[in-house]
Amino acid sequence: MHVVSGQPSEFTVGGNMTEKIVIALGGNALQSGKDEPTAEAQLRVVRQTSEKIAEICDKGYEIAVVHGNGPQVGRILLASETAADVTPAMPFDVCGAMSQGYIGYHLQQCIKYALNKRNKNIPVVTVATQMVVDENDPAFETPTKPIGPFYKEEEARQIAAEKNYTMKEDSGRGWRRVVASPLPQKIVELHAIKKLWNSTVVISCGGGGIPVIEKSDGSLEGVDAVIDKDFAAELLAEHVGADILLILTEVEKVAVNFNKPNQRDITSMNLKEADKYCREGHFAAGSMLPKVKAAMKFVRANPEKKAIITSLDKAAEALEQKTGTTVTFA
């Protein structure tokens, strides 16, 4: 049972066992593609996102929140590099930590207010989270994770030549820088997150976690990478015993033959079906593929549980099995 200030938390419904959800927020939950990427514009989007999260809380679910940081960490890095003549540029892992701080600040402020408006006095806190990765992960040799702003092809080729960046086209939306995206191995602050769970909405593993490697002497060292937040959310969901991994993105349902005349939306799929669609190449590496793979990993480890992929606007409906794509073991 969740307890807040010595009283049963409003998370608990009628004394019944409450379902635990780890929510993975997509980029559209943090900023709009239509607006300038200012702090003010992002805060407006986060306010709307927080209402949706509070709505889920209001239905009696226990939740934890994980968010991405691709656009934000890219801009922080760009700003740092641009000002290098004035002040030393910050390394990539530090930029990732900075993004965790300011995105977490926006989310915890807005989620807390949205809960207060529903007469729910539940603390909301952000945990700066380190994520151990394998320094020999092959992802370091093949960058796939898009970060930062979109560019036209000509601009992208110029930036690649000038800065030795790897630039790739991103799902028909333009060209972006891509960086290594190693798989998460261990959440360093997991014990603290578990301690907080029984009383608090915890925002953690922001941007997939600050990527670090474990040295032979037990110390940690930051590395240049962005961990996929869907895989980070999956790892967290496994370790906190979540019942549902809820992956929120821009589309209401997963689709095969996406953006083609024969596109088909998927309401539910089991592991075997999902694996078949992945092998057939239906899902883009930088967007839907990691979401489906994370969902598969969660139900493979927890055959009695489920993952749901849907849009932020349809999240509450998807939890009631009215929409979205549900992924199950069988």
Asked if 254 and 239 count as a contact pair (C-beta separation under 8 A), the reply is no
Which pLDDT belongs to residue 12?
42
**DSSP code string of 108-159:** HHHHHHHHHTTT----EEE---EEE--TT-GGGTS--EEEEEEE-HHHHHHH
Judged against a pLDDT cut of 80, whether residue 3 lies above it is answered with no
Which pLDDT belongs to residue 77?
87
Token pair listed for 300: 């493979």
Note the pTM of the prediction, 2 decimals.
Answer: 0.89
Per-residue pLDDT band at 15 (split at 50, 70, 90): very low
What mean pLDDT value characterizes the chain? 91
Judged against a pLDDT cut of 60, whether residue 165 lies above it is answered with yes
Token pair listed for 94: 């530090």
* Catalytic site positions: 27-28, 145, 229, 291
Reference 145, options 184, 193, 107; nearest CA is 184
Per-residue pLDDT band at 60 (split at 50, 70, 90): very high
Alpha-carbon span 283 to 295, nearest angstrom: 13
User: What is the rounded average pLDDT of the residues 22-34?
Assistant: 87
Asked if 293 and 269 count as a contact pair (C-beta separation under 8 A), the reply is no
Q: Taking the CA atoms of the chain, what radius of gyration do you get in angstroms?
A: 19
pLDDT digits (tens, 9 = 90+) for 242-278: 999 999 999 999 999 998 999 999 999 999 999 999 9
Alpha-carbon span 148 to 72, nearest angstrom: 6
Which pLDDT belongs to residue 17?
65
pLDDT digits (tens, 9 = 90+) for 72-94: 888 898 899 889 899 998 988 99
Percent with pLDDT over 90 in the chain: 78
Ordered by where they begin, the domains of the chain are 18-328 (3.40.1160.10)
Q: DSSP 3-state assignment of 75?
A: helix
Burial of 85 (0-12, 13-18, 19+ CB in 10 A): exposed
**DSSP code string of 34-73:** SS---HHHHHHHHHHHHHHHHHHHHTT-EEEEEE--HHHH
Which pLDDT belongs to residue 74?
83
Alpha-carbon span 319 to 244, nearest angstrom: 9
Percent with pLDDT over 70 in the chain: 95
CA 17 to chain centre: 26
Which pLDDT belongs to residue 70?
82
User: What is the rounded average pLDDT of the residues 316-325?
Assistant: 97
Phi-psi region of 188 (alpha: psi -120 to 50; beta: other; left: phi over 0): alpha
Alpha-carbon span 207 to 46, nearest angstrom: 15
Per-residue pLDDT band at 171 (split at 50, 70, 90): confident
Least confident range from 34-38, 90-94, 213-217: namely 34-38
User: What is the rounded average pLDDT of the residues 227-231?
Assistant: 96
Burial of 134 (0-12, 13-18, 19+ CB in 10 A): middle
Judged against a pLDDT cut of 50, whether residue 8 lies above it is answered with no
Judged against a pLDDT cut of 80, whether residue 24 lies above it is answered with yes
> Residue 224: which residues within 8 A CB-CB, separation 6 or more?
91, 92, 93, 179, 180, 211
